[in-house]
Structure formats: C-alpha cells, structure tokens
Amino acid sequence: MRTNFDFTPYRRSTVGFDRLFDLLETGRSDAADGYPPFDIVREGEDRYRITLAVAGFRPDQIEVVAQQNQLIVTGKRDEESGEARYLHHGIAARPFERRFQLADFIEVDEARCDNGLLSIALKRVVPDALKPRRIAIEGGSSATPARIGEGSSDALRAA
C-alpha cells in the first residue's frame, strides 16, 4: 500500500504511534504475494483467528513464531525424490513466509493444522495494571472537623 499522504502533522500530535506510521508509509513488501491465502476472523471482543490455506504441507513442515508484536508463519516442504512423475502439479509446494503485525497485548493461544488449513487462535491479554479501574472517592464526614487546639472535654481533663 503506497501512498503520497503526508503523516507529518499526525506524527507531531501523537505519541507512541511511530510504528503504525512507518508501516503506512513504507507499505508491506509481502502484500503483493498472496501465497498462502489467509482469512482473519474476529471471534469475540478479545479473540481472533487467522486461517491459512496450507494444502500439501504437514504440521511438522510449518513453523509458527510470535515475537515482539509480530507473528511469522513459515512453511518448507521436504525435497521430493525424482521418482514421482507428475502429469499435472497444481498444488503449490514452494516455501512461504507470511508475517502478521500484532497489536499490543495480543498473544497466540493455539495453532492447529487440519484438512489443509492452519488455524491460529489469538487473544488479547491486557495486564491488570493497564486495565481501567474505578477509584473510590472519599467524602468528608457530616460532622464538622475539629480545629487544632480544640478537642473533647475528656481529652482536656486527662491532660
């Protein structure tokens, strides 16, 4: 996605969005290559699923790595012996690497390969320290607070 839009005014008025603007300005080099095709589904408020079509790959030929807000899925098939004589070879067997940028606090929950589809479940896990929390507001008592030097008569007698 190339654009001639200038993000400079937005960079000046925002903090912490540098990575987002860099992605928008530079574009994605692997976006032009549509292999393997994939779907991204939102399954709930904090749950997502990425499904890649990886026909012809066994689970041991696929690697899923999550690191620093990035999910990398790679696949490499074993070298085939020259014994097979294909009349038509339509199932893609080329190696691939697909990268997904993940938002903050998105973690990989599980990955499954079934019927030629690799399904990766993601969930958002926000630390308790960053979740909004309600602060109790304490009010003054209905009684008039005592002033310095004033006290109950019992306290004065004891002195």
pTM over 0.85? The answer is: no
**Of 84 and 134, which is predicted with more confidence?**
134
113: closest CA among 62, 72, 59? 59
CATH of domain 34-127: 2.60.40.790
- Residue ranges per domain, the chain? 1-32, 34-127
Q: What confidence tens digit (pLDDT) does each residue in 3-44 have? A: 567 777 777 777 777 777 777 776 655 555 688 999 999 999
Residue 58, CA distances (Å) to 74, 76, 90, 102, 129 in order: 12, 9, 17, 25, 41
Q: What confidence tens digit (pLDDT) does each residue in 65-120 have? A: 999 889 999 999 887 666 778 898 888 778 999 999 898 899 999 999 999 999 99
Report d(CA 38, CA 122) in Å as an integer: 15
Report d(CA 63, CA 139) in Å as an integer: 58
Q: DSSP 3-state assignment of 10?
A: helix
